[in-house]
Amino acid sequence: MVLNSKIPEGPIQQKWDNHRFNLKLVNATNKRKYTIIVVGTGLAGASAAASLAELGYNVITLSYHESPRRAHSIAAQGGINAPKNYKNDGDSIWRLFYDTVKGGDYRAREANVYRLAQVSGNIIDQCVAQGVPFAREYGGMLDNRSFGGAQVSRTFYARGQTGQQLLLGAYGALSRQTHLGRVKFYGRREMLDLVVIDGQARGVIARNLENGQIERFVGNAVILATGGYGNVFYLATMAKYSNATAVWKAHKKGAFFGNPCFTQIHPTCIPLSSGYQSKLTLMSESLRNDGRIWVPKKAGDKRNPREIPEEERDYYLERLYPSYGNLAPRDIASRRAKEMCDKGFGVGATGLAVYLDFADTIKRNGKAWVEEKYGNLFDMYHEITNENGYETPMRIYPAVHYTMGGLWVDYNLMSTIPGLYVIGEANFSDHGANRLGASALMQGLADGYFVIPYTIGDYLATTKFAAIKTDHPEFEKSEKETKEMLKRLVSIKGKEPVDIIHKQLGNVMWEYCGMARNESGLKKALDLIPQVREEFWRNVIVPGSLDGFNQELEKAYRVADYLELAELMVIDSLHREESCGGHFREEYQTEDGEAKRNDEKFAYVAAWEYKGEKKWELHKEPLIFEYVKPATRSYK
Amino acid sequence: MNFTLKVWRQKDRESRGGFVSYTAKDISPDMSFLEMLDAVNQELARKGEDIIAFDHDCREGICGSCGLYINGRAHGNQSGVTTCELRMRHFKDGQEIVVEPWRAKAFPVIKDLVVDRTAFDRIIQAGGYVSVDTGSAPEASTIPIPKEIAEEAMDAAVCIGCGACVAACKNSSAMLFLSAKISQLALLPQGHPERKIRVRNMINQMDKEGFGHCSNTYACEVECPKKISVTHIARLNREFIRAQF
C-alpha cells in the first residue's frame, strides 16, 4: 500500500480554499440519511459531533464518561493560540505556521499546519460567540499572553482553565444538538473494537460500563476523537481513564500508526513525592512567563532556597538560551531540567526537581498581581505539596504530557481505513516531533469545528454504501472476539493487580523510552516489554464480574493494549536514528547537547502497518518543506 | 498513617446497600484521598474481592468526576478542593472515616460510591448554551465586554458540575449548579437573546429531575470546591422573575 497524503495542489495559502471548493457536497436533504459515529467527546469529538449535527447528519456519540463535560481536554490550563495580531506585535497566519513547523522540529506536514493556522482565528470567534469567558482587558477587548516557544502574544486564555471553558463551550453546542434530537449521546460506553466491512469502517463494538453489556453501533463513517496514549508510562499528567484502546483496536484493523515514539514531556509538573502516587499533576507553563527556573550552582546544595544567594544560583535556561530564556520550547526545557538533575544539581528530597521562583516578579508587581494571574496554580501546588509557592520557590520536574504520534491520517483526516477519521490528539498530524504550548486546544477544535465537517462530506458523497445492519457477520465476529478477550482477562486469576503490572511497564518506558533514549536502552526495552506482557497474561488478577460495573476490568483491557503499543513505540524510537523534538537519541546530539536531526534520512512520517502479532511494516510518507526550510532550531 | 474506613457498598441500582468496614494501612500523609482508596482497592483486588467503585478521572480537581461524602462533608473537610485534591494529612492517624456517595433523589447510585449525575446534563441540554452554529460567529473583537463583567461571568463559569452543592443541600437543590450557568450567560451579551427562554426551560427541567428547592442555607457555597457564590442564585431568581413578563 502506498501512502497518499492527498495534499492539494497549489500555493500553500490557497490549498485549503481550493480543496474546499473541490470537495463534493452532500445535498442538504440527504444528510440525515447518513449516520456518523463519533467516539470521544473532548474538544475534538464534541466540536465535530455538534458541527456535523448542525449540518443535518445523524450523529451517534460514545464516551466512557457519564457526561461529555468530563473529557480530559478540560484539564488544559494555559490557553489557545490564534494569530489575531490584536497586540500589533507582528503576528500573522504565516508566523504561526512558521513557528509550529519549526517548533515541531520539521517533522510535521506543512499543508496541515498552514490550514491549522488559517482556521485558528475562526475558533476564537466561535468560542466567544458561545459565551466562553476569555480574559479581557479594561477596555473590554480580549487579552492575549505569550506562551512557551513563541515570541509574540497570541494566546487567548480563561484564567488557568482555558481547556475547561472551551470544552464547556463545545459541550453546550453538543447539548443543544442532543436536545434537538440530532445527536444521540451514549455515556459510559467504551469502544472495544472497530468493525470494518468490505474495506470500509462501518461501526464499533462498545462495552456498556454500567452493566457490562456489549453493544453494536452501525454507521456510514466512524470518527475517533479518543485522545493520546501517554498513560503507557503509568505516571503521566493524563487523566486516569485516558487510554489507547480505541486507536489500538483500529490499528489492528488496518489503520497505520504514525510516529508512535513522538511523546512530549512537559517541563512544569509537580515532582513525584511519595512512592505511592497515581498520577502527576501539571502546572500551566504560563508560569514560565513570570517565574524563573534555577538550580544551585553547587551540586547537592541542601540549603533552604531562600538562603542561597543570587550569585550561587544557576538560572540555566536564561544562561543557555538568552533570547528565549525561561520560555524555551517544552522539549528543551524538559531535557535541560533532567540534565541538571542527572548531574546532581537537582533539589528537594528526591533530587529530581528544579526551582521555579516567583520572588522577582512578586517584588516587581506585588503578590496580588501574581495571585490574580496564577492563584489557582499556587493553590493547587499548596494542596499537593503543603508548601507555599509565594514564600518559597516551587519545585518542578518534567512529566509525560502529550503524544504527538497517533493514527496516520491524510489531509482529509482520514486514516488508512476508508471511512475511519481520526481527529485531535488521537491523530499524528500537526505537531511534528514537538508540540508548542497552547496548540493542542487549537488543533482539537480546528479538526472538529472547521476541518472534518467539510472533508467527511466528500467521502459520504462519493462512496457507495451497502445496506448494513448490526446483525452483519462482521459485527458478530467482533463481538465474539471482544467477549473472549474479556473472559480471558477475568479467568487468569493470578496474583498481581493491574496497576502493579502497569507500573512495571511504565518504569521500563520512562527509563528506556522517556526523555532521552539510546540504542542499548531501547534494545533492553524490547527484551523487557514482552516479559512484562507475559507476566500480565499469566499473573494478573481481575476481580469482579463481566456483566456489571467493573473498574478493574476496564483498567485491565486498557493495559493489555499498552503492552502492545509500548513495543511499537520502542521499535519506532529505535529505527529513528536522529534526535528531533521530543525524541532525543543520545547518540545524535550536537556538541552543546542540542538535538541533531538527520533531514536526509529521516524527513518522513513513519507510518506503521500492523502485520499480526509483534510484526509491523514501515511505510514512509516523505515530508517536503517548500516554505519553511529546515534549519537547526535555535532558541539562543 | 492508618485509618478505619466505613464505606457504602451497593451492588447496583436495584440492590440495597450498606456500610462495610475496611482498614487502610501505611498511608502516607501526602497521598490524596483517592490514592488512599486505591491502596485499599489494591489489597481487595489481590484477594480477588470486588473493589470499591468510585468515579474519578483527571485527579487534579477540574473534571468534576470525583465526589465523595466524607465524614458528613461533601469532598471532605477542606474548603475549595475536590476529593481527588484532598490529602490525607488533613486526617488524624487512626481516625475512622465514613465514606458515602452523594445522596440525592436525582442522583441514583449506580454502584458503591458512583452516582448517576446525568440529570445535570439534561438541565444543560434544556438551554445552558448560546444557540450559535459553527461558522456563524462574528469577529471576536466585535463584542467588547467590560473586564469586571467578564471576570464575574468567569467566577460562575468555573463550575465543574461535580454535584457537591446538591449533596450538601438538605433539600438536594441544584440551584447553585443551575445559577452558575444562568449567571454566566446572563452577564454576557452573547447570552441575552435567549435569556428568558433559557431560564424558564432550565428551571422546568430541574424540577422534573426531582431536585428540591432552595431554602437559603448556603451549604452549597460552603462545600463548592470552586467557591461559587450564592449571589449567583440571587441572579438566577431575578432572571426567573424577569422572564415572567
| Co-location of B165 and B74 in the same domain | no
In terms of domains, do B199 and B130 share one? yes
Q: What is the pLDDT, as a whole number, of residue B172? A: 98
Number of neighbouring beta carbons within 10 Å of residue B17: 16
Q: How far apart are CA A50 and CA B135, in angstroms?
A: 12
Number of Cα atoms under 13 Å in the Cβ half of residue A66: 25
Task: Return the pLDDT at A331.
Answer: 86
Nearest to A65 by CA among A45, A36, A35: A45
Instruction: Please indicate, yes or no, whether residues A479 and A389 belong to a single structural domain of this protein.
Output: no
Q: Is pLDDT of A374 > 90? A: no
**Measured between alpha carbons, how far is B92 from B69 in angstroms, rounded to an integer?**
17
Contact A354, A338 (CB under 8 A): no
* Cβ atoms within 10 Å of B46's Cβ, excluding its own: 14
State how far the Cα of A83 lies from the Cα of B118, in Å rounded to an integer. Answer: 38
Would you say residue B215 has pLDDT above 80? yes
The last residue of a domain, from among B111, B137, B154: B111
- Cα distance between residue A390 and residue A363, in whole Å: 11
The answer to whether residues B123 and B102 belong to one domain is no
pLDDT in tens, A437-465: 899 999 999 999 999 999 999 999 999 99
In a domain, A584, yes or no: yes
Taking alpha carbons only, the member of B113, B138, B120, B111 closest to residue B181 is B120
Specify the pLDDT at position A417.
98
A635, pLDDT greater than 80: no
Confidence at residue A485, expressed as pLDDT on a 0 to 100 scale: 98
**Cα A573 to Cα A147: distance, rounded to the nearest angstrom:** 29
| Distance from C-alpha of A200 to C-alpha of A36, rounded to nearest angstrom | 13
pLDDT over threshold 90, residue B153:
yes
What pLDDT is attached to residue A527?
Answer: 98
- Nearest residue of chain A to residue B198 (CA atoms): A176
Which CATH number is B67's domain given?
3.10.20.30
A229 found inside a domain: no
Please state, in angstroms and rounded to a whole number, the distance separating the CA atoms of residues B174 and B106. Answer: 9
Could you tell me the three cell numbers for A30?
440527504
| Residue A539 included in any domain | yes
Residues of B in Cβ contact (< 8 Å) with A210: 110-111
**Are B156 and B104 found together in one domain?**
no
Residues of B in contact with A499 (CB under 8 A): 38, 42
The CATH number assigned to the domain holding B237 equals 1.10.1060.10
Quote the pLDDT of residue A323: 87
Name the pLDDT band for A380 (thresholds 50, 70, 90).
Answer: confident
Task: For residue A350, give the C-alpha cell.
Answer: 528526591
Q: Which triple of cell numbers denotes residue B146?
A: 467590560
Specify whether B34 is located in the same domain as B135.
Answer: no
> What are the beta bridge partners of residue A184?
A60
Determine the average pLDDT of the residues in B104-115: 98
Examine the domain organization and report whether B24 and B57 are in the same domain: yes
Q: Are strands B69-70 and B96-100 parallel, antiparallel or unpaired?
A: antiparallel
pTM of the complete model: 0.97
The reply to whether residue B154 touches residue A159, judged by beta carbons under 8 angstroms, is yes
Separation CA A9–CA A117 (nearest Å): 18
- Same domain (yes/no): A594, A479: yes
A546–B contact, CB cutoff 8 A: no
The domain tally of chain A equals 2
Same-domain status, A393 and A492 = no
* Residue whose grid cell is 469567558: A133
* Residues A266-287, mean pLDDT to the nearest whole number: 86
The nearest alpha carbon in chain B to A160 belongs to: B158
The domain containing residue A566 runs over which residues? 473-602
3 state SS of A211: coil
B14 and B31 in a single domain? The answer is yes
**Of B44, B80, B161, which is closest to A69 when you measure between CB atoms?**
B161
Domain end residue (candidates: A400, A427, A453): A400
Q: For A133, which of B80, B146, B184 is closest by C-beta distance?
A: B184
Residue A552 contacts B, CB cutoff 8 Å: yes
Q: What's the rounded mean pLDDT across residues A382-410?
A: 95
Domain final residue pick, A371, A400, A429: A400
Question: B200: domain range?
Answer: 117-242
Q: Are residues B71 and B17 in the same domain?
A: yes
Give the range among A338-352, B37-51, B124-138, B152-166 with minimum mean pLDDT. A338-352
Of A65, A129, A541, the CB nearest to B130: A129
Q: Average pLDDT in the B179-192 region?
A: 98
Decide if A187 touches B, using CB distance below 8 A: yes
Whether residue A274 is predicted with pLDDT greater than 80 in this model: the reply is: no
The residue-averaged pLDDT of B23-47 equals: 96
Cross-strand pairs, B97: B5
| Closest-CA residue to A394 (of A361, A340, A337, A347) | A347
In a domain, A232, yes or no: no
Contact residues, chain A, for B131 at CB < 8 Å? 176
Q: State the Cα–Cα distance between residues B197 and A100, nearest whole angstrom.
A: 43
**What percentage of chain A carries pLDDT values higher than 70?**
99
Question: Among the three residues B80, B111, B142, which one is the final residue of a domain in this structure?
Answer: B111
The arithmetic mean of pLDDT across residues A424-437, rounded, is 95
What is residue A149's predicted lDDT score, i.e. its pLDDT? Answer: 63
Helical axes B195-208 vs B118-125, angle rounded to 10°: 150
Average pLDDT score over residue span B55-65: 96
Encode A203-216: b = buried (16+ Cβ within 10 Å), e = exposed. bbbbbbbbebebbb
Tell me how far apart the alpha carbons of residues B155 and A136 are, in angstroms, rounded to a whole number.
14
Domain co-membership, A384 together with A275: yes
pLDDT band at B217 (very low <50, low <70, confident <90, very high): very high
Contact across the interface for A179 and B126, Cβ inside 8 Å: yes
For residues A438, A441, A444 and A450, what is the CA-based torsion angle, rounded to 10 degrees? -90
Give the minimum alpha-carbon distance from B50 to chain A in angstroms, rounded to a whole number: 5
CB contact under 8 A, B35 and A179: no
Q: Tell me the shortest Cα–Cα distance from A370 to chain B, in angstroms.
A: 16
Domain boundary among B111, B132, B159: B111
Interface of A with B in 227-246 (CB under 8 A): 239-241
d(CA A564, CA A558): 10
C-alpha cell at B2: 492508618
> What is the pLDDT of chain A when averaged over all its residues?
95
| Grid coordinates given for B86 | 484532598
A295: CB partners within 8 A, 6+ apart: A313, A314, A316, A340, A345, A346, A347, A354, A355
Q: In A, which residues are within 8 Å of B132 by CB distance? A: 126, 129-130, 173
Q: Residue A295 is part of a domain; what is its CATH number? A: 3.90.700.10
The catalytic site residues of A sit at: 330
Contact A133 B150 (CB under 8 A): yes
- Say whether both A492 and A391 belong to one domain: no
- Residue B131 shares a structural domain with residue B77: no
Do B161 and B233 fall within a single domain?
A: yes
Q: How many domains does chain B fold into? A: 2
Q: B30 to chain A: which residues are within 8 Å by CB? A: 273-274, 384-386
Of B28, B35, B130, nearest to A278 by CB-CB distance is B35
- Residue B19: predicted pLDDT: 98
Task: Give the whole-angstrom CA distance, residue B53 versus residue B115.
Answer: 10
Nearest CA in chain A to B128: A172
pLDDT level of residue B242 (50, 70, 90 thresholds): very high
Indicate yes or no: CB of B157 within 8 angstroms of CB of A158.
Answer: yes
For residue B72, give how far its alpha carbon lies from the nearest alpha carbon of chain A (Å): 21
Residue A290: name the closest of A148, A173, A114, A482 by CA.
A148
Please answer whether residues A601 and A577 qualify as being in contact, where contact means their C-beta atoms are separated by less than 8 angstroms.
Answer: yes
The per-residue pLDDT for range A38-74, each reduced to its tens digit, is 999 999 999 999 999 999 999 999 999 999 999 999 9
Is A18 a domain residue? no
How close B45 gets to chain A, by Cα (Å)? 6
Distance CA A15, CA A327 (A): 32
The stretch A356-366 carries a mean pLDDT of 96
pLDDT in tens, A512-540: 999 999 999 999 999 999 999 999 999 99
Longest dimension (CA), chain B: 64
**pLDDT value of residue A148:** 65
- Does the pLDDT value for residue A285 go beyond 90? no
